[in-house]
């Protein structure tokens, strides 16, 4: 069993919220001018605390939907909301765990973790949370080393929502990051982000191409 | 016991640790005495060869080369002793020892190939002793030339880098700027900066400014192109990550795009330094008859090979050393 103690730092919790997706379509223009429809009329509702796996073959639009929820792309039509607010762009309240760790190679582990706080100009007030997160992923001894000096498993422990030192209201996992959920650090973090240990306040979605992976 | 603790214990038990250079450095390792002593050994051999072997030209008297080798030997001994006594200095000494030894060995080979065995034709290839004497004899001229070179290089290079970085970032970040700027770059960039001498001299009447502008022009092109290329090729995932962390445009440009493009920028800076060096002093210094090119031309005119070589060594080595210090830190 996973001990819940290291996974429950005393961080501020945001208000309960859910994600609603209504008749969302996303089309891309290919280099040859052809229209590629990645999503058509997707409608979905994710309740607070709910964990949803998106299952489907490659290219069916799973990651596109996550990028729309994260606000990195805009839908061609339809509406996405988090709580009562429409999703109009990226925000730290919607975390996205990318397929790779995507650590900034020019920053140390500590500075990578701080990056989100620096970006939002709140590092001074919330500096202590950085150490808490580094401890959470078990990299205390490696806080000052650079990403190329970490093993792949250690780097994957710093997938992006954790790097923001922010508890996102909604946490999206791409397929590879969802697969890495079996690593001890990631399981610990997923409990932290999405399980009932925080009162089921957050929703979490992840895409996968097989039902086995989604378990 | 938590899973994280278990994982740490497993790592410690199996030795599965990251390939951290810091960790590698921390691992106990035997003192590599021969490596740190190699410069002293090389200097001793070079001194021994210099003293024992007769010169190919019997008229050539003793030069300052032997004394310099004794000085190098002293420094090499200090180097080895410091590496043995100071554990903090040891990794640097072990890293730099072979290079130090190779440099001293090169001196010995140069001396053998010229002064001792005359394998290379004289007077085109003077030995180290003659070159060192030339450096000493002409030190006033060399120092003055170096001073003017540095002043010109500093101003021209700094101006070129500043403008190049700015234009490179703008062209890399803004598509519209790239649309209008890239054709201009493709047209103007490959033209040698010396082709703009007439324009530069008309715009900048003062010789110093015209020289600096020419260097800046030569530096601007590689710095701009490589900065633009670096910014344009930053992986989109870095921006996605930064956006999900709550980053705004300023953060994306200055904390993501520019740092990610730095490897390219450094290549541009290095290429710019080469361009600046090749264009240094290519202006007519009407007021002050000084500068490395004038000195070099005078040396070539009077067939003073030794002085030409001194000049090249002096300026090339010093300028690139300064560049390395500026780019990489001390």
pLDDT by residue (tens digit) across B242-257? 888 888 889 999 999 9
Q: Residue A104's closest chain B neighbor by CA?
A: B238
In the predicted structure, residue A129 carries a pLDDT above the cut 50: yes
Per-residue model confidence (pLDDT) at position B7 = 47
Retrieve residue A185's tokens: 């650090």
Asked if A151 lies within 8 A of B16 by C-beta distance, the reply is: yes
In the predicted structure, residue B265 carries a pLDDT above the cut 50: yes
HEC string of chain B equals CCHHHHHHHHHHHHCCCCCCHHHHHHCCCCCCHHHHHHHHHHHHHHHHHHHHCCCCCCCCCCCCHHHHHHHHHHHHHHHHHHHHHCCCCHHHHHHHHHHHHHHHHHHHHHHHHHHHCCCCCCCCCCCHHHHHHHHHHCHHHHHHHHHHHHHHHHHHHHHHHHHHHHHHHHHHHCHHHHHHHHHHHHHHCCCCHHHHHHHHHHHCCCHHHHHHHHHHHHHHHHHHHHHHHHHHCCCHHHHHHHHHCCCCHHHHHHHHHHHHHHHHHHHHHHHHHHHHHHHCCCCCCCCCCCCHHHHHHHHHHCCCHHHHHHHHHHHHHHHHHHHHHHHHCC
pLDDT by residue (tens digit) across B1-11? 444 444 445 55
- State how beta strands A203-208 and A94-97 pair: unpaired
Question: In 3D, which of A165, A210, A214 has the Cα closest to residue A189?
Answer: A165
Question: What confidence category does residue B53 fall into, taking pLDDT thresholds of 50, 70 and 90?
Answer: confident
Asked if B244 lies within 8 A of A151 by C-beta distance, the reply is: no
Retrieve residue A158's tokens: 């710093």
Interfacial residues of A (vs B; Cβ cutoff 8 Å): 2-3, 5-6, 70-72, 89-92, 94-96, 98, 100, 102, 104-107, 115-116, 118-120, 137-138, 142, 145, 149-151, 154, 160-161, 163-164, 166, 184-185, 187-188
Of B2, B19, B245, the CB nearest to A92: B245
* Chain B positions in Cβ-Cβ contact with residue A149 (cut-off 8 Å): 18-22
Per-residue model confidence (pLDDT) at position B207 = 78
Q: What whole-number distance in Å separates Cα of residue A50 and Cα of residue A17?
A: 10
Domain spanning B139-327 has what CATH number? 1.10.3720.10
Report ipTM (2 d.p.). Answer: 0.73
Provide the shortest C-alpha distance from residue B19 to chain A (in Å): 6
Identify whether the C-beta of residue B240 lies closer than 8 Å to the C-beta of residue B249. no
* Chain A positions in Cβ-Cβ contact with residue B4 (cut-off 8 Å): 6, 137-138, 184-185, 188
Q: Helices B258-279 & B207-232, crossing angle to 10 degrees?
A: 150
Q: Residue B19's closest chain A neighbor by CA?
A: A149
* Chain A positions in Cβ-Cβ contact with residue B21 (cut-off 8 Å): 149
Q: Residue B2's closest chain A neighbor by CA?
A: A3
* Chain A positions in Cβ-Cβ contact with residue B238 (cut-off 8 Å): 102, 104
Asked if B22 lies within 8 A of A145 by C-beta distance, the reply is: yes
Among A115, A164, A172, the strongest candidate for a mutation testing the B interface, having the largest count of B CBs within 10 A, is A115
Per-residue model confidence (pLDDT) at position B180 = 93
Retrieve residue A65's tokens: 């939907």
Contacts of B170 (CB under 8 A, 6+ apart): B177, B181
Question: What confidence category does residue A198 fall into, taking pLDDT thresholds of 50, 70 and 90?
Answer: very low
Per-residue model confidence (pLDDT) at position A169 = 59
The residue that leads in pLDDT, B91 or A164, is: B91
Average pLDDT in chain A: 72
Per-residue model confidence (pLDDT) at position B282 = 59
pLDDT by residue (tens digit) across B291-325? 555 555 555 555 455 555 555 555 555 555 555 55
Provide the shortest C-alpha distance from residue A161 to chain B (in Å): 7
Asked if A119 lies within 8 A of B245 by C-beta distance, the reply is: yes
pLDDT by residue (tens digit) across A66-107? 888 888 889 999 988 888 888 888 887 777 777 777 788 999
The residue that leads in pLDDT, A159 or B329, is: A159
In the predicted structure, residue B30 carries a pLDDT above the cut 60: yes
CB atoms near residue A160 (< 10 Å): 28
**Max Cα-Cα span within chain B:** 84
Retrieve residue B145's tokens: 């030339």
Q: Over range B98-115, report the average pLDDT.
A: 92
Provide the shortest C-alpha distance from residue A3 to chain B (in Å): 5
Asked if A184 lies within 8 A of B245 by C-beta distance, the reply is: no
Identify whether the C-beta of residue B224 lies closer than 8 Å to the C-beta of residue B167. yes
Question: What confidence category does residue B64 fall into, taking pLDDT thresholds of 50, 70 and 90?
Answer: confident
In the predicted structure, residue B135 carries a pLDDT above the cut 60: yes
Per-residue model confidence (pLDDT) at position B38 = 93
Asked if A116 lies within 8 A of B246 by C-beta distance, the reply is: yes
* Chain B positions in Cβ-Cβ contact with residue A177 (cut-off 8 Å): none
Per-residue model confidence (pLDDT) at position B120 = 84
Provide the shortest C-alpha distance from residue A156 to chain B (in Å): 13
The residue that leads in pLDDT, B4 or B154, is: B154
Distances (CA, A) of B122 to A4, B77, B113, B304: 82, 34, 11, 12
The least confident of A7-11, A20-24, B106-110 is A7-11
The residue that leads in pLDDT, B318 or B238, is: B238
Average pLDDT in chain B: 79
Per-residue model confidence (pLDDT) at position A171 = 65
Contacts of A82 (CB under 8 A, 6+ apart): A17, A18, A19, A69, A93, A94, A169, A170
Identify whether the C-beta of residue B275 lies closer than 8 Å to the C-beta of residue B263. no
By CB neighbour count within 10 A (0-12 exposed, 13-18 middle, 19+ buried), where does B58 fall?
A: exposed
In the predicted structure, residue A152 carries a pLDDT above the cut 70: yes
Question: What confidence category does residue A214 fall into, taking pLDDT thresholds of 50, 70 and 90?
Answer: very low
pTM: 0.67
Q: Residue A151's closest chain B neighbor by CA?
A: B18
Provide the shortest C-alpha distance from residue B249 to chain A (in Å): 10
Interfacial residues of B (vs A; Cβ cutoff 8 Å): 1-4, 6-8, 16-22, 235, 237-238, 240-248, 251, 255-256, 259-260, 262
Among A183, A184, A188, A190, the strongest candidate for a mutation testing the B interface, having the largest count of B CBs within 10 A, is A184
pLDDT by residue (tens digit) across A199-211? 334 455 555 544 4
The strand pairing partners of A19, in sequence order, are A46, A82
Q: What whole-number distance in Å separates Cα of residue B106 and Cα of residue B112?
A: 10
In the predicted structure, residue B239 carries a pLDDT above the cut 50: yes
The residue that leads in pLDDT, B40 or A158, is: B40
Give the A:B interface size as CB pairs under 8 Å: 106
The residue that leads in pLDDT, A201 or A25, is: A25
By CB neighbour count within 10 A (0-12 exposed, 13-18 middle, 19+ buried), where does A112 fall?
A: buried
The residue that leads in pLDDT, B33 or A174, is: B33
In the predicted structure, residue B164 carries a pLDDT above the cut 70: yes
Q: Over range B141-168, report the average pLDDT.
A: 89
**Phi then psi for B55, rounded to 5 degrees?**
-75, 150
């Amino acid at each position: 069993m996973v001990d819940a103690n290291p996974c429950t730092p005393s961080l501020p919790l945001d208000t309960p919220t859910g994600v609603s997706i209504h008749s969302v379509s996303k089309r891309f223009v290919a280099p040859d001018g052809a229209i590629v429809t990645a999503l058509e009329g997707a409608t979905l509702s994710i309740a607070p605390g709910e964990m949803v796996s998106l299952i489907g073959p490659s290219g069916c639009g799973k990651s596109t939907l996550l990028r729309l929820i994260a606000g990195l792309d805009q839908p061609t039509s339809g509406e996405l909301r988090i709580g009562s607010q429409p999703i109009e762009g990226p925000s730290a309240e919607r975390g996205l765990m990318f397929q790779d760790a995507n650590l900034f190679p020019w920053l140390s582990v500590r500075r990578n973790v701080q990056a989100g706080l620096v970006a939002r100009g709140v590092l001074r007030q919330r500096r202590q949370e950085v150490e808490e997160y580094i401890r959470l992923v078990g990299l205390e001894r490696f806080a000052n080393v650079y990403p190329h000096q970490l093993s792949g498993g250690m780097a994957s422990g710093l997938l992006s929502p954790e790097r923001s030192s922010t508890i996102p209201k909604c946490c999206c996992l791409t397929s590879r990051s969802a697969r890495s959920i079996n690593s001890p650090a990631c399981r610990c973090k997923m409990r932290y982000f999405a399980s009932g240990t925080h009162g089921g306040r957050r929703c979490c979605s992840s895409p996968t191409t097989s039902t086995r992976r989604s378990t | 016991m938590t899973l994280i603790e278990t994982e740490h214990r497993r790592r410690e038990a199996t030795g599965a640790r990251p390939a951290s250079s810091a960790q590698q450095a921390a691992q106990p390792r035997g003192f590599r005495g021969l490596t740190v002593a190699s410069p002293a050994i090389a200097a001793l051999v070079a001194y021994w060869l210099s003293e024992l072997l007769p010169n190919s030209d019997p008229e050539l008297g003793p030069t300052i080369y032997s004394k310099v080798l004794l000085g190098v030997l002293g420094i090499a001994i200090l180097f080895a002793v410091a590496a043995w006594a100071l554990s903090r200095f040891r990794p640097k000494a072990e890293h730099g020892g072979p290079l130090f030894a190779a440099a001293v060995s090169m001196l010995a080979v140069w001396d053998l190939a010229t002064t001792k065995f005359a394998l290379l034709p004289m007077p085109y290839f003077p030995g180290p002793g003659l070159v060192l004497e030339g450096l000493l004899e002409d030190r006033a001229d060399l120092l003055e030339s170096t001073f003017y070179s540095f002043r010109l290089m500093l101003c021209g290079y700094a101006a070129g880098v500043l403008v190049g970085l700015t234009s490179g970032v703008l062209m890399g970040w803004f598509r519209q700027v790239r649309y209008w700027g890239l054709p201009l770059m493709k047209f103007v960039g490959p033209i040698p900066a010396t082709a703009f001498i007439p324009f530069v001299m008309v715009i900048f009447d003062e010789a110093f400014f015209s020289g600096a502008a020419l260097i800046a022009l030569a530096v601007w092109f590689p710095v701009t192109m490589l900065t633009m290329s670096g910014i344009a090729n930053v992986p989109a995932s870095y921006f996605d990550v930064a956006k999900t962390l709550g980053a705004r445009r300023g953060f994306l440009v200055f904390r993501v795009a520019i740092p990610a493009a730095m490897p390219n920028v450094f290549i541009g800076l290095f290429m710019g330094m080469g361009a600046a060096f090749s264009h240094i002093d290519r202006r007519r210094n009407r007021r002050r008859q000084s500068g490395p090119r004038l000195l070099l031309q005078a040396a070539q005119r009077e067939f003073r090979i030794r002085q030409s070589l001194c000049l090249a060594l002096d300026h090339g080595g010093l300028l690139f050393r300064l560049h390395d210090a500026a780019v990489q830190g001390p």
